C-alpha cells in the first residue's frame, strides 16, 4: 500500500464492501508512501496514527469527481467553486501561499488555524495537489478568504461583489499609513490625460524608492505621456471575504529618469518585470505632493 498526502484512507466492511470510515491522509512517516499514516477522520475531525489492515484501501481524489460540499457547513462569506473552475491544481497551492504571506502567517501558524500538519501545508503550496473540499474549506477559513478565490474561480470577475458591512467604518489614513500600504512594490493604477485630452487609467507594475513611485514603460506607450505632467496614482486592496479594504491615492508630478546610474540601479533592484511584457526600459518617477488614503473596516475596530 502506497499513498500521497491528500489521499483518502477508506476502511470497508469485509462482508458488504460498504465504507465504514474514511479520512484524509495528512502525514506520511515514510518517503515511499508506505504505512503508517497520520489520518484526519471525516466523522470526528480527529487525527490519529493508523496502521491500515486488510479492510483498508487508498482512494486518490485527483482521479475522481470532487465530492459535493454541504453548503450549510461553508460558513458566512465562504462559498465553494463549481468543479469546472478548479483549473491547474498547482495554482491552488500558489494562491494559498500568497494569501498566507499576505496575512503575515508562517506555515506553522496557518496550518494550526486550518487544523492540518505544517508538512501537509508545505506539500500543498509546493506541489500540484488537488486538496479535498473539506481541506479547502478549512484553508479558506484560516486565511480569511473564500474557497472560490483559492480555486481561482473569480479571476475574471471585478472585485468588490460581496455584500457591504452592516456597520462599516470609513476612516482617513495618515501619510505614514499610506506609505506603509504602498510598501515596496506591486500593481497600481496610473491616471493620465492623453494628448487628445481624454482621461485614461492604466494598471502598471510599480516600485517605491525613497518615497518616490517609479514604473517602467515604453517611450511610445500611453503611460509614457505621464512624463512632465501631474498625475494621479492609486493602489488598493479588497478583502472579499470580510467586505473591507483600503485605498491610497498619490498625486504629483511625473518625470523621466535619465541619470544612467539611477536607471541601472532601478533595473538592478526591481522586484519584477512589467507583466505586460515587451521592451519597457523607460523609467518614470512620481514624486507625490499629496498622499491620502481611506480604509473600510467594521465599526467595532
Query: What CA–CA distance (Å, rounded) separates 235 from 204?
Result: 10
Rg of the chain over Cα atoms, rounded to whole angstroms, equals: 24
pLDDT classification of 76: cutoffs 50, 70, 90: very low
Is CATH 2.60.40.10 correct for 71-151? no
Cis peptide before 237 (omega within 30 of 0): no
Reported as a single tens digit per residue, the pLDDT across 38-55 is 888 877 777 888 888 888
| Long-range contacts of 184-187, Cβ-Cβ distance < 8 Å, separation of 24 or more | 184/208, 184/271, 185/270, 185/271, 185/272, 186/235, 187/235, 187/275
Looking at the predicted structure, is the pLDDT value of residue 167 above 50?
Answer: yes
* pLDDT at residue 18 in the model: 56
Q: Which residue has the cell 489521499?
A: 7
Looking at the predicted structure, is the pLDDT value of residue 77 above 90?
Answer: no
* pLDDT at residue 93 in the model: 87
**pTM for the whole thing?**
0.58
Query: What CA–CA distance (Å, rounded) separates 258 from 263?
Result: 7
CATH superfamily label, 168-298: Electron Transport, Fmn-binding Protein; Chain A (2.30.110.10)
Average pLDDT of the residues in 27-33: 82
Closest alpha carbon to 98 in 152, 53, 62 = 152
Query: What CA–CA distance (Å, rounded) separates 39 from 53?
Result: 14
Amino acid at each position: 500500500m502506497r499513498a500521497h498526502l491528500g489521499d483518502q484512507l477508506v476502511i470497508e466492511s469485509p462482508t458488504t464492501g460498504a465504507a465504514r470510515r474514511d479520512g484524509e491522509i495528512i502525514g506520511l512517516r515514510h518517503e515511499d508512501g508506505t504505512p503508517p499514516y497520520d489520518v484526519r477522520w471525516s466523522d470526528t475531525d480527529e487525527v490519529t496514527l493508523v496502521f491500515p489492515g486488510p479492510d483498508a484501501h487508498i482512494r486518490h481524489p485527483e482521479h475522481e469527481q470532487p465530492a459535493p460540499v454541504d453548503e450549510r457547513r461553508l460558513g458566512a462569506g465562504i462559498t465553494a467553486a463549481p468543479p469546472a473552475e478548479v483549473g491547474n491544481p498547482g495554482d491552488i497551492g500558489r494562491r494559498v501561499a500568497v494569501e498566507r504571506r499576505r496575512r503575515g502567517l508562517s506555515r506553522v501558524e496557518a496550518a494550526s488555524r486550518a487544523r492540518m500538519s505544517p508538512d501537509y501545508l508545505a506539500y500543498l503550496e509546493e506541489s500540484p495537489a488537488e486538496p479535498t473540499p473539506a481541506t479547502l474549506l478549512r484553508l479558506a477559513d484560516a486565511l480569511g478568504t473564500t474557497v472560490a478565490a483559492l480555486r481561482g474561480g473569480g479571476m475574471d470577475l471585478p472585485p468588490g461583489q460581496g455584500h457591504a458591512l452592516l456597520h462599516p467604518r470609513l476612516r482617513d489614513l495618515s501619510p505614514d499609513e499610506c506609505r506603509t500600504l504602498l510598501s515596496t512594490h506591486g500593481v497600481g493604477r496610473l491616471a493620465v490625460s492623453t494628448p487628445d485630452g481624454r482621461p485614461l487609467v492604466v494598471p502598471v507594475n510599480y516600485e517605491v524608492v525613497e518615497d518616490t513611485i517609479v514604473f517602467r514603460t515604453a517611450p511610445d506607450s500611453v503611460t509614457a505621456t505621464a512624463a512632465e505632467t501631474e498625475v494621479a496614482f492609486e493602489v488598493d486592496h479588497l478583502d472579499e471575504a470580510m467586505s473591507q479594504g483600503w485605498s491610497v491615492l498619490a498625486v504629483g508630478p511625473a518625470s523621466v529618469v535619465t541619470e544612467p546610474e539611477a536607471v541601472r540601479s532601478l533595473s538592478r533592484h526591481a522586484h519584477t518585470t512589467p507583466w505586460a511584457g515587451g521592451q519597457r526600459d523607460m523609467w518614470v518617477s512620481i514624486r507625490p505632493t499629496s498622499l491620502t488614503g481611506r480604509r473600510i473596516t467594521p465599526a467595532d475596530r
